[in-house]
A and B are shown apart, each in its own frame.
Chain A
C-alpha cells in the first residue's frame, strides 16, 4: 500500500512538472522595438538663382543665396560638396570659375571660392539641420559676348554609417 502511495505521488509530481513545462512553452511575451535609421539628406530653399538681366562686362552681380541643410540627417559623418558647369548661352561660354561661392555673405568677389567642374567640399562632419546658407556672386569677363547665359550648380551629399 505504501509503495502504491509513493508511486502515485511520483506520478502526480511528474504530471504537474510536465503541465508546467508545456504551459511555460505556450506563454507569450509581447515586446516592442524599433530601429532608428542612420541617414543623411539634402534640402535647398531655392531650385534656381537669378543674377538679373542688367550685367555688363566686368560687372560683379549682387549676392544670391540658397540655404542647404539636411533636415533629418543623423549620420555621424556627412559630406556636402559643390560643383558647377561653365556658363553658356548656347553659342558662347564663360568659365564656371567666374561664379564664386561662400557660406558667408560675399562682399568682395575675391573673398569667395571659385566654382569648379569637380566636386569640392563645402562642409563635412555634422552640418546643421537648420540650414547652411551658401552665397553666390558672378563676375562677367572682359569682352564677354552679349547673351542670356545659364549655369547648373550641383550640391551632393554622402554619408558613411558609424554603426558599420
Chain B
C-alpha cells in the first residue's frame, strides 16, 4: 500500500515539475567598438549558459561588412560568462563621409530538437562601430620633464619623506658644526 502511494506521488511530481530544458542569456546593453580608419579593434559579447550548448552566431546590417567573429561556439557548462570576441576592421580607404557610426545586429541562436515544431531560442544584440580619424603618431617625451613628473607621481608621502630626510641631514650637519 505504501509502495503504491509513493508511486502515485512520484507520478504526480513528474507532471507538476516543469522540465526545464535549456537556458542561455547575455549581459545587457549594446556593443560599442571604436576603430580608427585603417585600424582594427575588438569588443566582446558576453553570454552565459546553464548547460552545454552549441550556438550559431550571425550578424545583420552594415556592421556585418566590418566585423569578424566565430560563426559557431560551444558553451561549456562551467563557463559562467563566455566572451565572444568581435573584431572590427576599417579599411584605410574608408571615407569619413561614409559615416562614423556603423550599426548592426548580432544574433546567437540555440536550435531546438527536431520534431513537428522545433523551438529555437535566440539572443539579439545591437553593435555600433564608431569610426575615428587615424591616431596621430606619438610625440617623444622630454626626458627631464618625464623625470620630474615621475618623481612627483610617486605620491605625497614619499615626497614629504624625501624633503624630511634632507632637513634631518642638515640638522645633523648643524649639530656637528656647533659641537666643534
Contacts and interface: CB of A to CB of B under 8 A. Distances in A.
Contact of B178 (A4, A151, A154): A4
Contact of A39 (B18, B28, B157): B28
B164 A21 contact: yes
B146 interface: no
A117 interface: no
B23 interface: yes
A49 B115 contact: yes
Main secondary structure of the interface of A (DSSP, over half): mixed
Given A25-B155, A155-B122, A38 B29 contact: yes
A51 B52 CA distance: 28
Interface string A60-82: 00001011001111011010000
Nearest to A151: B117
B18 A49 contact: no
Nearest to A46: B119
Given A25-B158, A150-B117, A14 B164 contact: yes
Interface residues of A, number: 59
Contact size class for B? 35 or more
Given A72-B25, A154-B122, A45 B168 contact: no
A158 interface: yes
Contact of B175 (A8, A156, A158): A8
Interface centre among A7, A18, A40, A155 (most CB of B within 10 A): A18
Contact of B118 (A42, A47, A76, A136): A47
B44 to A, nearest CB: 13
A59 interface: no
Contacts of A21: 157, 160-161, 164
B64 interface: no
Contacts of A11: 168, 171-172, 175
Interface centre among B18, B107, B116, B161 (most CB of A within 10 A): B116
B113 A42 contact: no
A40 B121 contact: no
Interface centre among B25, B46, B81, B155 (most CB of A within 10 A): B25
A114 interface: no
B119 A39 contact: no
B98 interface: no
Given A46-B21, A150-B117, A156-B124, A41 B171 contact: no
B119 A3 contact: no
Given A3-B178, A22-B161, A39-B26, A51 B124 contact: no
B175 A4 contact: yes
B28 A38 contact: yes
A43 B21 CA distance: 7
B20 interface: yes
A120 interface: no
Given A75-B28, A136-B117, 5 more contacts: A25-B155, A42-B24, A45-B18, A49-B117, A153-B119
Interface of A: 3-4, 7-8, 10-11, 14-15, 17-18, 21-22, 24-25, 37-51, 64, 66-67, 70-73, 75-76, 78, 99, 131, 136, 148-164
14 contacts: A11-B175, A25-B158, A37-B46, A38-B29, A43-B23, A45-B19, A64-B117, A67-B18, A72-B25, A151-B116, A151-B117, A153-B117, A155-B121, A161-B27
